[in-house]
Amino acid sequence: MEYPSKFVEEAVNQIAKLPGIGKKTALRLVLHLIKAKDENTYALTDALNNLRANIKFCKVCHTICDAEICSICSSHRRDRSIVCIVEDVKDVMAIENTAQFNGLYHVLGGVISPMNGIGPADLKIESLVNRVSDGQSEIKEVILALSPTMEGDTTSFYINKRIREITVKVSVIARGVPVGGDLEYADEITLGRSITGRTLFN
């Protein structure tokens, strides 16, 4: 497609690099920005530049934060004996939203995926092993909360193998039928696991 201006073309090309946004959507966004007030565009670009320049990763759990140590890791109200292993910061936000977990997190930054060329060394697994095996560590339990996919399971298996020798309990989040879901629509593997992993009715 031929664009009416090289500035439009460059903006479209840059926006279309974002995941899930094609050239047509990008053009729509660009024309929206052109039509809107100047301040809107500058507010957007300032926010992105500030993000890029100021974003930090917690030195303990590797989540995204504004300081050296994130608010969860530095909080005195959190239970320091439990660490929940998650793939990325979205999972931290999702678990925080449930208000069912009061421990700490450890953000791996991905899962082991040979297809995408991601091995254990690309993730924050060494840092987790060091954190758990540290003499001053208060950690008593590690919860594996990775996605129930092949990559997630592989990563859970690998982490369990690495920290099994350390005297720490390793647990995994429950797999079963989702709450509110109709039983007949649950797939066989999920339903099967919900039966083998059944718990006492209380």
The contact set with its own copies (CB under 8 A) reads: 1-8, 10-11, 13-15, 17-21, 25, 27-34, 38, 40-45, 47-52, 54-56, 63-66, 70-71, 88-90, 92-93, 96-97
Shortest Å, Cβ 190 to its own copies: 24
Contact 107, 122 (CB under 8 A): no
Contact 197, 174 (CB under 8 A): yes
Shortest Å, Cβ 140 to its own copies: 25
Shortest Å, Cβ 169 to its own copies: 27
Alpha helices (runs of H) in 36-169, residue ranges in sequence order = 38-54, 89-98, 125-133, 150-163
Looking at the Cβ atoms of 33 and 186, the one nearer to its own copies is: 33
Cα–Cα distance measured from residue 172 to residue 143, given in angstroms and rounded to the nearest whole number: 5
Shortest Å, Cβ 150 to its own copies: 21
Summary count for the chain: helices (H), strands (E)? 7, 6
Q: Which amino acid is at 30?
A: V
Looking at the Cβ atoms of 64 and 172, the one nearer to its own copies is: 64
Looking at the Cβ atoms of 63 and 163, the one nearer to its own copies is: 63
The Cα-based distances of 156 to 15, 20, 86, 127, 171 in angstroms read 35, 28, 10, 15, 10
Looking at the Cβ atoms of 51 and 189, the one nearer to its own copies is: 51
Spatial strand order in the sheet of 141-144:
104-107, 82-86, 141-144, 169-172
Looking at the Cβ atoms of 2 and 184, the one nearer to its own copies is: 2
Shortest Å, Cβ 79 to its own copies: 19
Contact 173, 144 (CB under 8 A): yes
For residue 23, what are its two tokens? Answer: 């050239």
Looking at the Cβ atoms of 27 and 60, the one nearer to its own copies is: 27
Cα–Cα distance measured from residue 169 to residue 160, given in angstroms and rounded to the nearest whole number: 10
Shortest Å, Cβ 58 to its own copies: 9
